[in-house]
Amino acid sequence: MEKTHPYSSAEAIAVELQGIVRMFGGRTVIDGISLTIPRGELFGLLGPSGSGKTTLIKLMTGIDRPDAGSVSMLGEPMPQLKMLQVFGYMAQSDALYNELTGKQNLEFFGALFGLTGQLLKNRIHAAASLVDLTDHLNKQTAAYSGGMKRRLSLAIALLHEPRLLVLDEPTVGIDPVLRQSIWKELSALSRQGITIIVTTHVMDEAEKCDRLGLIRDGKLIAADTPEAIMQKAGCSTIEEAFIALGSGGGGEK
């Protein structure tokens, strides 16, 4: 969307977290996490429910503000309003207006990102065909199945061609065939240079990521390629590695 020039060194980093801490009512949810995600990486955040994945994502995107530490995205200090234009965000809940049709939902969020006219039409068409919803766009969202809602939600996140895509458990409630096609799409987007940060607790999905961050009790217990993590833990699967590293590293406070 901006002029294409070779990325400066700062811009080669998509997201950088330095010692961030977030507390809710005296409880430490994120406990001193530092993490650097380079551009174009497909980064997976893996961790049990309640480990702080969603909070970490909200801190990365500037929706929430850390109590300590600093966050920067594409070289810009966060939180910053203009950066909201740069990334696409898909939350755990589908967050759709059920009274509207799929198309009306897309039109609404497209307009919020400043898309108008033919460009908006083209983007809606592109995003809808990506998630295989073109035939259902004129249906009221309330009549969508769970999987269709999830796909529409993903289409909305892709609408404004974000340079960074942040997806909070994108494949929950989606059947295996579609799950595979979504992951294929994510890999393709990642190859185009789009940075993707995705949370999951499905282990076979985790293996598809370039790099994994394992989170437990608000601490980052490992951040490496799936192979390296398995090697380090001396296990043959991510699942075993996660359990091994989790019990050894981050104990309860």
Partner 1 sequence: MRIRALSIRIIRQFLRDKRTLALLFLAPLLILSLMKLVFDGQSVSPAIGMVDIPAVFTEKFEHLNAAITVYESPDSAHAALQAGELDAILQLSGGKPELMLEGSDPSINRAVLLLLQTAMQTGSGSAAPAITYLHGGPDMAAFDSFGPVLIGFFSFFFVFLLAGVSFLRERTSGTLERLLATPIKRYEIVIGYLAGFGIFTLLQASLIAWFSVDVLGLYMAGSIGYMLLINLLLSLTALTLGTLLSSFASSEFQIIQFIPLVIVPQAFFSGLFNLDAMNPWLQKLSSIMPLYYGADAMQGIMIRGESWGDFQIDVYVLIGFSLLFALLNVLALKKHRSM
Q: Which one, 196 or 212, has the nearer CB to partner 1? A: 196
3-state secondary structure of 92: coil
Q: Which one, 88 or 250, has the nearer CB to partner 1? A: 88
Q: What is the CA radius of gyration of the chain?
A: 18
Q: Which one, 95 or 202, has the nearer CB to partner 1? A: 95
**Nearest distance in Å: CB 88, partner 1:** 8
CA 9 to chain CA mean position, Å? 23
Member of 109, 144, 183, 242 binding partner 1 (CB under 8 A): 109
Alpha helices in the chain (DSSP H): 53-61, 102-112, 117-130, 146-158, 176-191, 203-206, 226-233, 238-248
**Nearest distance in Å: CB 118, partner 1:** 21
Residue 62 binds partner 1, judged by CB under 8 A: yes
**Nearest distance in Å: CB 95, partner 1:** 4
Residue 61 binds partner 1, judged by CB under 8 A: yes
Residue 94 binds partner 1, judged by CB under 8 A: yes
Cα–Cα distance between 160 and 72 in angstroms, integer?
21
Over the window 134 to 173, marking each residue x when it contacts partner 1 by CB under 8 A and - when it does not, the resulting string is ----------------------x-----------------
Q: Are the C-beta atoms of residues 6 and 193 closer than 8 Å to each other?
A: no
**HSE-up of 163 (CA within 13 Å, CB side)?**
17
CB neighbours of residue 199 within 10 Å:
22
Interface contacts to partner 1, rule CB under 8 A = 61-65, 79-82, 84-85, 89, 91-98, 109, 112-114, 156
